Structures are given as C-alpha cells and as structure tokens.
Structure 1
Amino acid sequence: MLYIGSAYDPKERAKAHKHADWWPLVVRRDDEWYVSRDDAYRAERLAIEAEQPPHNVVGTPKHTDPAVRGRILREAASARWTVALAAFRAGASVDAARRAGGWAEVEYLEASGRMQGYAAKLRREMEERGGTYNSENMRLDDTLLTLTAAPRPFPTAPVPTPEALGG
C-alpha cells in the first residue's frame, strides 16, 4: 500500500499524483464508493491509521483535513469580503476594494499556517495581475453597490380608519 486518498473524481486525482516521486511504484488502483463525503473521509482516515501508507501526509504539518480546510476557506472569504466592503465604504474604488479584499484573503490564508500551497498560488496570481483580484466569486461591482446602497423603505399599506372598518 503506497497511498490512500479520497476524491470526487478518482481518475482526475490519479492524474494529479502522476508527478509524485512514488508514482512509478504504482501497480494498481482500487476505488471504493461511499454514500456521503463524511463516510468517505471517515473510511479514509481509518484506512490510513490501519495501513500507514508511506506516502500519505495525514498527521503532518502538510495535511489539513477537509473540515478544517473548509472552515479556513470560509473564514478567508469572509476576511476578503469584510475588507473589500470596508474599503469601498471608506471611499475606495471597486477595483481598489477588490484588491484590498484579495490581499486580505491571501494574508489570512498565510497566517492560518495551513494550505500554504494554495496561499502561495493565490499570492502569485495576485502579484502576476499587479495586485488585482479577479474571481468569479467576487463580483464586487454589483455586490458592493447593492450592499452599500441606502436601504429601500419598507412598503406600507394605508392604515384603515375605524369608519372604513365599519366602526
């Protein structure tokens, strides 16, 4: 046993491993399917504990389990939006707010001490684009303008008089 992992698409995940130094040792791949991601993660964790494959990184500083990874990504996205919205409300242009939010996300990920590969990739992308943040998940033009617009008055119906109610 060389490695135990989980993936939505095992064929694509195997392609990603083809660059690993241990890949030439692979003779076969066995797939098991589970009803839910939680069941798959639990089975993966138990199999790794039982088999102790030499090329898994679970339990090392390189590993971030899926629940922690999800929490960190949500918190990083929250930091991005919080900073972008604050910058926009303080008078920054949409582009400047987007940039500030993008850097906040990068810095949050770096400070987390986890997902350093992803943080480095995001930093490189930001630097290659001159510090701009360009993500389908952050369409600031409409979103920030909507969030900062004056609230619309709550529609009210005329209050009937006692006479109108027959009283």
Structure 2
Amino acid sequence: MISPRHASPGPSSTASASAPQALIAPRQQSDAFVADLTAALLTALTAAAARPAPRLPDAPTLGGYGARVIDLALAGLETTTQGAYHSAWRRHVIPTLGTAPIDHLTSGTIDRTVQQWAATGLTRSTIKNALAALTRITRQATRDGWLTRPPQPLTG
C-alpha cells in the first residue's frame, strides 16, 4: 500500500496557471467599485458638512466656576493657608478677573493682572496668595475640561 504522502497528485489537485486570474475582478469592475465608493463618500461628507456643528456649552466665568470648585481646589491645604487663599481670591482675583470666561484666560492676562496688583500696592505675599488660589482653580478647570492646560503666569 502506498502512503498518501508518496502518492502522486491526481488531476483534481493540480493547480492551473489560470486559477488565480479567476479571483481577480476585471479592471472595469474594480474601477466601477472605486468610483461608486468615492461617490458615496463624497455624498456622506457633503451631508455631514451641511449639518451644523454641535454647540458646546458656554464656558462659565472664572468667578462663577471658582465659586463652585474653590473648596475642592483648596482641599488638603492647612486651614490658615486656605483662609489666606480664600481671602486673596475674594478680594483680588474676583474683582479683576471674575467676569472673564474661564476658557479665555491666558498667561498674558494673568501677567498683566499681577502687574496691576503690584502697581496698586499689594504686597508680594498677597499677590502670591492670589496667584496660588488662581493656579489651583485653573488646574481644576483643566481637569474638568474647560482648559487644555492651565495658564502659566510669570513668577518672581
């Protein structure tokens, strides 16, 4: 008895050179397929472009947002530090930057505000406390998705 391993292949197992050609679609069919796919994609993109973009909610003001998150932003600090930051926030940050939409806050805006505070005679310690409170609020705004990254004011 001859083992199947040594048997010669029969006519049904012989591959012809034209067999792979049967799997390839004629050029006209593939061109038509690509044209149909392109047309469908163009139609879908045109329809999507005609729809209005979803409107994001308006960003809150710094003052409104800060009022909601200041306790969270200052959590973990010593009670005396929290008191100093709260005071600087209420007395200096809110009056100068409180009405600005939080997503329009920039490093330059904060730098100019610090210069304004210094020009009005605020002490270095008060300015540092106001900046620390503002930094904690903007970091929380970044975590909440209102800012892509917190503004980086000049220090010193």
TM-score by length of 1: 0.23
Name which structure has the greater RCO, CA cutoff 8 Å, separation 6+: 2
Between Structure 1 and Structure 2, the one with more helix by share is 2
